[in-house]
Amino acid sequence: MTDSFFMQCPTALLVIDPYQDIIIKANQTALALFNLPQAQLKQPTVSQLFNKCLDKLLVFSEQALSQGSAWCDDLFIEVDEIPLYLEVTAKAFEQQLILSCQDSSYTFKHRYQAEAENHYRLGLFHWSKNETVFEEIERHNQLLLSAVGDGIYGVDTKGCTTFVNSAAEQILGWKKHEIIGQKIHDIIHHTHQNGHPYPAHECPIYAAFHDGTVHIIEDEVFWSKSGSPIAVEYTSTPVTDNGVLIGAVVIFRDITERKRTQQKLVNALQEVDKLKSRLEMENAYLLEEINADFNHHQIIGQSAAVQRMVHQIELVGPTDANVLIIGESGTGKELVARAIHEVSSRQGRPLIRVNCAAIPAELFESEFFGHVKGAFSGAVSDRLGRFELADGATIFLDEVGEIPLQLQGKLLRVLQEQQFERVGESKTRHVDVRVIAATNQDLKKLVKQNKFREDLYFRLNVFPVSTPALRERKEDLPLLVQHFISKVCMRFNQPQPKVSMAQMQYLQQYTWPGNIRELENIIERQVILAKSNKLSFDFLADEHNPTTTESDIKQIENSEIISASMQKTLEKENIRKALVATDGKIYGSGGAAELLDLKPTTLASKLKKYNIDAWQYKPNKR
């Protein structure tokens, strides 16, 4: 069994006797390796077998015999004259040596192969490990590129697309397979927003891989698959490989929404600017109004004429009809206009007043309709006209008869179509303005004289309202007088003086050519001049009334208009009545002077003037 193992062992085994120089035994592998016939084991001898390296064999054998074992790889034999190097392991056994021999080239080959295989296995392992890492990186990159909200695409140096991320697909509407390998500029960047062609040689994206610098563009358009422009900002960054430009990567963002928001903001700011300048103008206008003390709108009076007028105001006020107020100067035309505006639905906005008599002829159009900067010398900035200012409100054209004939056509157009153009501008503007006009002139007469357009007159005269002259409603005088005294005294913060009946008569007798404005002015003046707590208006008698002879008192009483001479007669009669009532007493409490609200000295001089003897009225004298 042992011998069989020996014989079948895959390693070449020789048992030699180094002392006798003979091969005692050799197994199958050894016979094959040394090319020995089994029958001739005694031949060759050991030294013959290793005859080319005897010295080394001797040293090796002695080492094995003395140490019990030895190993060497420099012994060789010649087989068919070809050296066969061996790795030999020797084991000493009872003065014999067992040699285990291995073909060195075979061992080397196997070891090399094993090593190569080892390397190969290791390499494969490393490679698959690396491949997994690369795959992982690629997967991460893909995830990142897909997750990014910005569009990303790459181009090579020919301008052809090399990759596209999902956001780019979504923004542009093009699928990857439709643009990969295609010249991207021709697909999405061929035209400027204004429709002008965008040549590829001007394309900043392509420029990046020509000049090697980053190109940042903040406002351009890319064209979607559907053909609509997409507002974008983008960065084109050159890509290099070992210092060589190989293309560019473009990161872009759809800024449509941002631009829309920006535009909204710009519009809102413009609107704010417009409203601001409008408010400033309104404010300045209102301040002007407050300063002018026009902020009271009470119409005082109980006469039939006033009641009729108030009724008309209530009728026409809530409608949007144009109104023409006709009346003498100072009869309250503006007051009526304000009252109409205030009962209308436009009362939340100011009444814009234009005094047509105060505007120089050459500035009328600009005042009414505004102008643009540079429209004429002096037009240094855009300016709103009164009609634009009154948009949504009411415009009050005071002294409308003063509007120059050449502008009347334009005014008619606003009244009919609510349209006009600013001076120096062709853009037609629309407004919603109610017009209230006023005049103290006879417009019909102006029409006949060709100074006022008839069509404009009819347009304005839709609803005429007349303000009665004060002399036609003298019954309102006491109320008006009291109203103005209160108003003035409140302004001056002083107690209100009284008006005696006699003084009231002076007011009643006066003809009031300046109407209520004159009354208001006179009262203000007299309040300032009043020395005591009493107001005097006797100067009115002397100021305007012509001298007449004394007439019948009865006639005076029945007369509505009292002339100066009548007034004198009336005063004389009045003094007489006072003397009768006071039994001829002039001075002191209960005297005629007090009753007449006159200074005793004034009464005395009047008695002298009228040649009245107070003694005549003493009880004992009558």
Residues in contact with ligand ATP by CB under 6 A are 298-301, 327, 329-335, 398, 440, 467, 483, 516-517, 520
The residue number with the shortest CB distance to ligand ATP is 332
Q: With beta carbons less than 8 A apart as the criterion, state whether 85 and 73 touch.
A: yes
Let me know how long the chain is.
622
Residue 233 or 472 having the CB closest to ligand ATP: 472
Residue 12 or 340 having the CB closest to ligand ATP: 340
Q: How far is the CB of 524 from ligand ATP (least distance, A)?
A: 10
Beta bridge partners of residue 218, listed in sequence order = none
Residue 163 or 463 having the CB closest to ligand ATP: 463
Cβ of 183: how many Cβ atoms within 10 Å?
16
Helix (H) or strand (E) holding 525: helix 515-529
What is d(CA 194, CA 152) in angstroms, rounded to the nearest whole number?
25
Beta bridge partners of residue 180, listed in sequence order = 161
Q: How far is the CB of 399 from ligand ATP (least distance, A)?
A: 7
Residue 170 or 302 having the CB closest to ligand ATP: 302
Q: How far is the CB of 358 from ligand ATP (least distance, A)?
A: 11
Using CB atoms within 10 Å of the CB of residue 536, give its burial: 0 to 12 exposed, 13 to 18 middle, 19+ buried: buried
Residue 334 or 365 having the CB closest to ligand ATP: 334
Q: How far is the CB of 397 from ligand ATP (least distance, A)?
A: 12
Cβ of 202: how many Cβ atoms within 10 Å?
11
Q: How far is the CB of 480 from ligand ATP (least distance, A)?
A: 6
Distances (CA, A) of 219 to 134, 229, 234: 37, 12, 8
Integer-rounded Cα Rg, in Å, for the chain is: 63
Q: How far is the CB of 410 from ligand ATP (least distance, A)?
A: 24
Helix intervals (H) in 343-424: 364-369, 386-389, 405-417
Q: How far is the CB of 499 from ligand ATP (least distance, A)?
A: 17
Q: How far is the CB of 286 from ligand ATP (least distance, A)?
A: 17
What is d(CA 565, CA 572) in angstroms, rounded to the nearest whole number?
10
Residue 57 or 516 having the CB closest to ligand ATP: 516
609, two tokens = 């003037």
Q: Does residue 478 have a cis bond before it (omega within 30 degrees)?
A: no
Q: How many helices (H) and strands (E) does the chain have?
A: 25, 19
166, two tokens = 């999902």
Residue 232 or 335 having the CB closest to ligand ATP: 335
Residue 386 or 410 having the CB closest to ligand ATP: 386
Q: With beta carbons less than 8 A apart as the criterion, state whether 314 and 339 touch.
A: no
Q: How far is the CB of 525 from ligand ATP (least distance, A)?
A: 14
Cβ of 61: how many Cβ atoms within 10 Å?
21
Residue of 480, 520, 463 lying closest to 329 (CA atoms): 520
What is d(CA 86, CA 105) in angstroms, rounded to the nearest whole number?
8
Residue 468 or 591 having the CB closest to ligand ATP: 468
Residue 225 or 517 having the CB closest to ligand ATP: 517
Residue 236 or 515 having the CB closest to ligand ATP: 515
Beta bridge partners of residue 237, listed in sequence order = 249
Residue 333 or 606 having the CB closest to ligand ATP: 333
Q: With beta carbons less than 8 A apart as the criterion, state whether 149 and 129 touch.
A: no
What is d(CA 618, CA 585) in angstroms, rounded to the nearest whole number?
8
Residue 330 or 584 having the CB closest to ligand ATP: 330
Distances (CA, A) of 14 to 11, 17, 75, 81, 98: 10, 10, 14, 21, 6
Q: How far is the CB of 516 from ligand ATP (least distance, A)?
A: 4
378: left (phi over 0), alpha (psi -120 to 50) or beta: left
Residue 259 or 517 having the CB closest to ligand ATP: 517
Q: Which residues contact 377 (CB under 8 A, 6 or more apart)?
A: none
7, two tokens = 């014989």
Residue 299 or 604 having the CB closest to ligand ATP: 299
Q: How far is the CB of 505 from ligand ATP (least distance, A)?
A: 21
Q: How far is the CB of 571 from ligand ATP (least distance, A)?
A: 28
Q: With beta carbons less than 8 A apart as the criterion, state whether 28 and 13 touch.
A: no
265, two tokens = 């903001």
Q: How far is the CB of 537 from ligand ATP (least distance, A)?
A: 17
What is d(CA 264, CA 247) in angstroms, rounded to the nearest whole number?
38
Q: How far is the CB of 357 from ligand ATP (least distance, A)?
A: 9
416, two tokens = 């009919």
Residue of 209, 225, 223, 227 lying closest to 254 (CA atoms): 223
Cα–Cα–Cα angle for 185, 189, 194, rounded to 5 degrees: 150
Q: How far is the CB of 332 from ligand ATP (least distance, A)?
A: 2
Q: Which residues contact 492 (CB under 8 A, 6 or more apart)?
A: 527, 528
